[in-house]
Amino acid sequence: MLTARRELYRQIVLLMVVCVAVPAAWGADFWAKKRYQNWSADETRRLLEESPWATTLTLTTVRTGTAYSGVNKGYRPDMETDPSISYNLQFRSAQPIREAQVRTSQLASKYDALSAEQKAAFDASAGKFLAATFPDRVVVSVTYHTDVPDYLTLLRSHWGRQSLGTLSTSVFLNAGKERLSLVNYSFKDDTFQFVFPRPKELGPDDKISVEFVHPNIGLRQQRLLLEFSLKKMVVNGEAAF
């Protein structure tokens, strides 16, 4: 039987707001104190998962009537599990995220063990990637994950069939007083990408947020609003996103 607390949870308003808060233990911000080539694997992961330029939102639900195996195989309506769906959002047009992407590739390719020729080729490719600028657009990627195979299939089907047209009334970049509409959408594997025009007027105390809708998969349809503080996104004196 569902507990009263979980029953209440299932009936909450379908709007979830997530504010990115960098843990106090991070102290002086490793990304400002060290070159990206010196970031550890854990630091790189943290920057990509929970930082001023990225966050991970996990949605959970409750399922009853779980089939199980054992001596008394069968159907137990009183058993409960907590499947989840998570969305990892990153500002891919932000330099720190792009540096973290390069650092991830360095670690995966065991860069320190490469020959001088291989390092030169890697550095040339990384330099070209990092030199890209985004003066008129903001690129946001969202990667989804779930521990339920059926949910994964449904999510791939849903996001794979979306287009600029189908998302134009539900996906927005909120920046200060501006509410900017989507200008491009793409999908590959378990990641979809939003492109917005770059905001024109932002104050240092403003916040920026990405708004989209989680479909009726696992949980009921929900409008998600993932919010970031411009003050925390500052790199070399300017907000980077």
Cross-strand bridge partners of residue 81: 63
Residue 126 — φ and ψ, nearest 5°? -65, -40
Over residues 176-187, the mean pLDDT reads 94
Q: What is the pLDDT of residues 167-181, one digit of tens each?
A: 999 999 999 889 999
Strand 222-229, strand 15-19: pairing: parallel
Average pLDDT over residues 141-170: 95
Q: Helix, strand, or coil here: 84?
A: strand
pLDDT at 30: 87
Nearest to 241 by CA among 129, 89, 103: 89
Higher pLDDT, 11 or 36: 36
pLDDT in tens, 220-240: 899 999 999 999 998 888 888
Phi/psi of residue 10, each to 5°? -70, -15
Point out which residues pair with 195 in neighbouring strands: 139, 184
- 219 has pLDDT over 90: no
Rounded to two decimals, the pTM is 0.80
Average pLDDT over residues 106-125: 92
Q: Where are the domains of the chain?
A: 14-67+76-239
Q: Look-up: residue for tokens 């199980």?
A: 68
